[in-house]
Amino acid sequence: MSALHGSGRRDNLVIAPNLWTGIGLVRGSAGTALVGDPETVAKRLREFQALGIKTVIASGYMAMSAREFMQTDVVVLAILIYGLLGKLADSSVRAIERVSLAWHPAYRKGAKV
């Protein structure tokens, strides 16, 4: 990403049609945004597929966009999805913790600390 950002330069963030690397500057992590109307984005995704790209991580801004256009049903859906993902992440970390710390007396079943 630092090569794409040109060492902090913000004057060349469009790297291809509909591909913008500036999202990495505001997200705090690596990223390239695929921008455009739905038909254009779908066309670009088909082009990526034709090139052999099989996986795309789509972490769009569904809730913010829905909020702006007052789509309450989408906002509620986004909240439910985020909640379920949070619960899944919490359960996964707890399971890993139980397995990896099984040797510790505080994690043994019925142990008193």
pLDDT at 90: 92
Question: Are the beta carbons of 19 and 32 closer than 8 angstroms?
Answer: yes
What's the pLDDT score for residue 16? 72
Rounded-to-integer distance, Cα 31 and Cα 12, Å: 15
pLDDT for res 61: 67
Given this model, what pLDDT does residue 27 score? 62
pLDDT along the chain (113 residues), means of 10: 57 68 63 78 86 76 72 83 87 90 77 56
How much is the pLDDT for 19?
A: 73
pLDDT (0 to 100) of residue 91: 92
Q: Which residue has the tokens 């040797």?
A: 103
Instruction: Write down the pLDDT at residue 13.
Output: 66
Q: What is the pTM of this model?
A: 0.42
Q: What are the residue ranges spanned by the domains of the chain?
A: 1-60, 62-113
